[in-house]
Chains A and B, each alone.
Chain A
Amino acid sequence: MNPRRSAAIVLRQLALMRSSPTRVVPLVAWVAIDIVLWGFITRYLGSLGGQAPDFTLTLLGAVLLWDFFGRIMQGVTTAFFEDVWSRNFLNLFASPIGVGEYVAGLVATSVLTSLVSLVVMLLLARLAFGLSLLAFGLPAAAFLGVLFLFGIALGIFASAVVLRLGPASEWLVWPIPALLSPFAAVFYPLHVLPGWMQAVAHLLPPAYVFEGLRALAAGQGVHGAGLLAGTLLALLQIALALGFFTHVFRGALRSGLLARYSAESVA
């Protein structure tokens, strides 16, 4: 592993973002829109009174964390798509960069871009609606870390899918967070799901995160077992995603897909 090659991917992305505001706006735009939308919804629900739970935390907090997860995944896939959109695979993979170095570059790019989103998200939520995720201290950071790891795993997996199926399969990637959200129990406790959905949820690290955060908000302390299970699952999924990407890359070398990669190379 040569870190300079991974850094090349990160610096390339930064150069693109410097010269193109359209690449920067999405980092904060969706987060800001969700904060405004869900902030007022939670404020309205809170005004109804009664035995209602703290909507600001259970709804707005959940939305923000789910947005954060989506940004991490898209941070990886968007950096990958830059090479797809610019048809750069020939020049890129005829250079000495290895799969591990390339994926590390995509992940580092995602770390930087999603941190920008996270800071904007925390500031807006705090200033506009008084929500402070940091008030939960270290446990909240640990749960954020699990979401971060899972976002990385899913981003690598999604990139491998597009590498295998071709640029036209890009549309498959964008709805992945939405497809997972019902199983991840983002907005409701896990036990309200039917048995088969709970079984799926137990394979998804975000389910442990949101259960843990709800327990934390309810004053039940940190669910250490859940945090550990979520972390280990996410790490395993990163390893599996990296293995899948490598497998797809080697297959593309054998089949000639990499050499012929273009908008027409679907399937």
Chain B
Amino acid sequence: MSATAAARDDAPALAVNAVSKAYAGRRAVEAISLRIEAGEIVGLLGPNGAGKTTTINMILGLLQPDTGSVHIAGLDLARRRAAALAQVNFQASYAPLPGNLTVRQNLLFFGRLYALPALAERVDGLIETFALAPLARTRCGLLSSGEQARVALAKALLNRPRLLLLDEPTAALDPATADDLRRLIRDLAVRERCAVLWTSHNMLEVEQICDRVLLLAHGRVLLQGDPRRLPAEHGAASLEALFIRIARQPLDHGDSV
């Protein structure tokens, strides 16, 4: 049975159930649960050290939770790692593509890792979508940070993921390209029912693109809801004001907003 066939269409794109992780006795993430449905764009927000990257790494299978489980498209990541990871992809500025391979070589390399059919056509299509044709034969290490971000996004879409994790995807992009990207991701979510977990420190962007946000602090989900209504519900002037209030809360009051 192929990985795609094994994934359940009726299952949520992502179901994280009470995952916890501690490093050397210090809790990085504590009993986080979250669920993302197909076509939904969810913002994962939180101050530095809140546990966002730890959570993302557990979803990507790069970090094993101490407790809890991660299911991608109904597939248990711990039991069916390859099949589950075939349904997900990611882009993060801290995970650059190999700089010694060209844009096209990188896309072909990762496409083979996902064992994609008609790979050359898929790569050509993504090169066109992200306007990478003039850079296709350039080594990724020679690209600007904005260009590298576009290549990394092309790589993230190679396998038509059911779940896409984007860690500050527009941080290195100019405003016009960032706007194009947000449209593309929104279109992807609507047209291909791709679920997206989006982290960003740009609250205006989050309000614009996300259907729902989760606010993390001290390794726990403190708040979640519609980013356009959440500030008013909690007596804050804006999402940014709410974020700042949560970020500045001391550890022992972390769960009382």
Residues of A near any B CB (own CB < 8 A): 2, 4-5, 7-8, 11-12, 15-16, 19-20, 82-83, 85-98, 250, 253-254, 256, 258-259
Contacts and interface: CB of A to CB of B under 8 A. Distances in A.
Given A91-B97, A96-B3, A98-B82, A12 B109 contact: yes
B113 interface: yes
Contact of A258 (B63, B89, B98): B63
Given A4-B115, A91-B95, A96-B114, A16 B100 contact: yes
Given A15-B105, A253-B64, A92 B100 contact: no
A95 B95 contact: no
Interface in B1-39: 3, 21, 23
Contact of A96 (B21, B62, B113): B113
A7 B64 contact: no
Nearest to A102: B113
Contact of A97 (B23, B98, B113, B155): B113
B49 interface: no
A89 B63 CA distance: 12
Given A86-B98, A259-B57, A5 B115 contact: yes
A90 B109 contact: no
B112 interface: yes
Interface string B94-118: 1111111110010011101111000
17 contacts: A5-B112, A5-B113, A7-B112, A15-B101, A20-B100, A82-B98, A87-B96, A88-B97, A93-B61, A93-B62, A94-B60, A94-B90, A96-B82, A96-B85, A98-B82, A253-B63, A253-B64
B122 to A, nearest CB: 14
A258 B94 CA distance: 13
A7 B111 CA distance: 11
Interface residues of B, number: 39
Contacts of A258: 62-63
A94 B61 contact: yes
A86 B106 CA distance: 12
Given A97-B82, A253-B61, A259-B53, 16 more contacts: A4-B112, A8-B109, A8-B113, A11-B108, A16-B101, A20-B100, A90-B95, A91-B110, A94-B61, A94-B89, A94-B95, A95-B113, A96-B114, A98-B81, A253-B62, A256-B57
Contacts of B88: 94
A80 to B, nearest CB: 13
A96 B115 contact: yes
Contacts of B188: none
Given A5-B112, A16-B100, A256 B61 contact: no
A259 B21 CA distance: 13
Query: Which A-B residue pairs are the 4 nearest by beta carbons?
Result: A8-B112, A86-B98, A90-B95, A95-B113
Contacts of B113: 5, 8, 92, 95-97
Contacts of A15: 101, 105, 109
Contacts of B60: 90, 94
B92 A90 contact: yes
A90 B85 contact: no
A16 B140 CA distance: 13
A132 B63 CA distance: 52
A253 B64 CA distance: 5
Nearest to B94: A90
A86 B85 contact: no
Contacts of A5: 112-113, 115
A16 B141 CA distance: 13
Contacts of B115: 2, 4-5, 96
A70 B90 CA distance: 38
A48 to B, nearest CB: 50
B86 interface: yes
Nearest to A83: B98
B42 interface: no
Nearest to B22: A256
Contacts of B110: 91, 95
A219 to B, nearest CB: 50
B145 to A, nearest CB: 15
B101 A90 contact: no
A199 to B, nearest CB: 40
A90 B60 CA distance: 9
Interface string B244-257: 00000000000000
